[in-house]
Amino acid sequence: MVAMRNYNPVTKEVIEALKAVVGAEHVFADAESLEKYKTDEETDPRFFHTPEAAVEPANAEEVAAVMKVANKYIVPVTPRSAGTSVSCGAIAVCGGIVLLMERMNKIIEINTDAMYMIVEGGVRTVEIQQKANEKGLLYAGDPCSSDSCLIGGNIATNAGGNKAVRYGTTRDQVYSIEVVTPTGDIVELGARLKKKSTGYCLEQLIMGSEGTLGIITKATLKLLPLAPYKLDVLAIFTDVEKATGIVPILVKAGLNPTSVEFMDNSFVRSASDFSELKLPHYEDGSYVIITIETFNEDELESKMEQLDELCNANGATDVLEADERVWTIRRNCLESTRVLSKVSTSDDLVVPVNKIASTIDYLTTLAKNYPFRVFTLAHAGDGNLHFQILKGDMSDEDWENSLASFHAKTYPYIYNLGGRISGEHGIGSKKVDPMEKYTNPIEMKMMKDIKKALDPNNVLNPGKVFNMK
Ligand SMILES: Cc1cc2nc3c(=O)[nH]c(=O)nc-3n(C[C@H](O)[C@H](O)[C@H](O)COP(=O)(O)OP(=O)(O)OC[C@H]3O[C@@H](n4cnc5c(N)ncnc54)[C@H](O)[C@@H]3O)c2cc1C
Per-residue pLDDT at 469: 75
Q: pLDDT tens for residues 256-276?
A: 999 999 999 999 999 999 999
Residue 172 has pLDDT above 60, yes or no: yes
Residue 226 has pLDDT above 90, yes or no: yes
**Among 55, 77, 149, which is best to mutate for testing ligand 1, by the most ligand atoms less than 8 A from CB?**
149
Per-residue pLDDT at 6: 83
Residue 468 has pLDDT above 70, yes or no: yes
Closest among 98, 106, 28, 47 to 70, alpha carbons compared: 98
Per-residue pLDDT at 2: 52
Phi, psi of 45 (to 5 degrees): -55, -20
Q: Burial letters for 127-162: b for 16+ Cβ neighbours within 10 Å, e otherwise?
A: bbbebbeeeebbbbbbbbbbeebbbbbbbbbbbbbb
Q: pLDDT tens for residues 109-168?
A: 999 999 999 999 999 999 999 999 999 999 999 999 999 999 999 999 999 989 999 999
Question: Architecture of domain 12-103 in CATH?
Answer: 2-Layer Sandwich (3.30)
Instruction: Give me the CATH code for the 228-426 domain, please.
Output: 3.40.462.10
Per-residue pLDDT at 5: 63
**Among 40, 43, 85, which is best to mutate for testing ligand 1, by the most ligand atoms less than 8 A from CB?**
85
Residue 105 has pLDDT above 70, yes or no: yes
Q: pLDDT tens for residues 284-296?
A: 999 999 999 999 9
- pLDDT grade, residue 4 (50/70/90)? low
Atom of ligand 1 nearest to the CA of 40: 29
Rg of the chain's alpha carbons, rounded to an integer? 22
Q: Burial letters for 374-384: b for 16+ Cβ neighbours within 10 Å, e otherwise?
A: bbbbbbbbbbb
Nearest CA to ligand 1 atom 45: 211
Q: Using CA atoms, how far apart are residues 208 and 334, in angstroms rounded to an integer?
A: 22
The DSSP symbol for 47 reads: G
Give the residues surrounding ligand 1 with Cβ less than 6 Å away.
40-41, 78-86, 89-90, 101, 121, 143-145, 149-150, 152-154, 156-157, 159-161, 210-211, 215-216, 334-335, 424-425, 461, 464
Average of per-residue pLDDT across 105-109:
98
Nearest CA to ligand 1 atom 14: 145
Atom of ligand 1 nearest to the CA of 214: 43
- Tell me the fold of 107-225: 3.30.465
Nearest CA to ligand 1 atom 44: 211
Q: pLDDT tens for residues 403-444?
A: 999 999 999 999 999 999 999 999 999 999 999 999 999 999
